Amino acid sequence: MTGCAELINTGRNAAGEQLRVLADLQRLADRYAFAGSKGQLADLAAVRGYRARLDAIAVGCEAGRQAAAISQLNALLAQTGATPQIAEHHGRGPHIHVSSAGSPLADRMAAHFAMGLVWLVVAGQAGRLRSCASAGCSDVFIDLSRNRSRRYCDSKTCGNRTHVAAYRARKASGNDDTAARPSPAAGRAGPAGRAGPAG
Ligand SMILES: [Zn+2]
């Protein structure tokens, strides 16, 4: 599912299209060790088309529209000509390929990444698909937290950035009650109280 999210997110980047040229697509394919024929120019547009559909399916899952997501997934898998089979290569033990090596790269990538969504739906976990709540990011991610409360694709970047921005906004509006002014209790009895005018 990581790969599926990564593919979808190449179309959700605030900086624009991340699959600009064939080399971008081939890099993504190589990172996930797609073993068959190399990508052709036609695969670039085809993958972008599949990506838009996977994105729509992810949005549907997030919104709880499971029946629609299922029929869209089935249609997409059928269009890719998926043919599940057991493969062994590059020293890896037997594992499942959902396409034959001779299929176009776009079809193989779409089928493989769609299966990430398929397993999620079949496991009853489609609701774990989430879009990042950060203002500058809409990346899709899987919320694996126990109480399904994760809001950001990455707590170190997006979560922290949002936290800092909210803190600055509170401070700028004078509504910051976490740091800028002492609490009433501190005013009465704490060091700040003693330092102030004597009562
Ligand atoms: Zn994010």
- pLDDT over threshold 70, residue 1: yes
Q: Is residue 179 part of a domain?
A: yes
Q: How confident is the model at residue 197 (pLDDT cuts 50, 70, 90)?
A: very low
| Sequence-ordered list of residues with C-beta below 8 angstroms from that of 135, at least 6 positions apart, any chain | 162, 165
- Domain span including residue 175: 152-183
- Average pLDDT of the chain is 87
Share of the chain above pLDDT 70, in %: 87
Residues 140 and 76 in one domain: yes
What DSSP string describes 18-64?
A: S--SHHHHHHHHHHTT--SSPP-HHHHHHHHHHHHHHHHHHHHHHTT
pLDDT tens digits for range 113-151: 999 999 999 999 999 999 999 988 999 999 999 999 999
Q: Which of 108, 85, 86 is nearest to 39 (CA)?
A: 108
What's the CATH number where 102 sits? 1.10.3300.10
Using the mean position of ligand 1's atoms as its centre, give its distance from the Cα of residue 161 in Å. 9
CA 157 to ligand 1 center in whole angstroms: 7
The pLDDT, as a whole number, for residue 159 is: 83
Beta bridge partners of 130: 141
Domain co-membership, 107 together with 178: no
- 22 and 71 in a common domain: yes
| Ligand 1 center to 174 CA (angstroms) | 28
Structure-block tokens of residue 105? 């790269």
User: From ligand 1's centre to the CA of 98, what distance in Å?
Assistant: 30
Q: Which amino acid is at 77?
A: L
pLDDT tens-digit readout, 70-87: 999 999 999 999 999 998
Q: Tell me if 133 is assigned to some domain.
A: yes
Verify that 26 and 92 share a domain, yes or no: yes
Alpha carbon of 96 to ligand 1 centroid (Å): 31
Stated pTM of the model? 0.80
12 Cα: distance to centroid of ligand 1 (angstroms): 10
Q: What is the pLDDT of residue 160?
A: 81
The reply to whether 27 falls in a domain is: yes
CA of 89 to the centre of ligand 1 (A): 35
Co-location of 33 and 116 in the same domain? yes
Given a cut of 80, is residue 165 above it in pLDDT?
no
Question: Could you tell me the distance, in angstroms and rounded to a whole number, from the CA of residue 162 to the centre of ligand 1?
Answer: 9
- Does 169 reside within a domain? yes
Is residue 62, in this structure, part of any structural domain at all?
yes
CA of 69 to the centre of ligand 1 (A): 23
What pLDDT, on a 0 to 100 scale, did the predictor assign at position 157?
83
Q: Give residue 182's pLDDT band: very low, low, confident or very high (50, 70, 90).
A: very low
CA of 5 to the centre of ligand 1 (A): 12
- Is 195 among the domain residues? no
| Residue 92 binned pLDDT confidence (cut-offs 50, 70, 90) | confident
Decide if 45 is inside a domain: yes
Q: 139: CA distance to ligand 1 center in Å?
A: 5
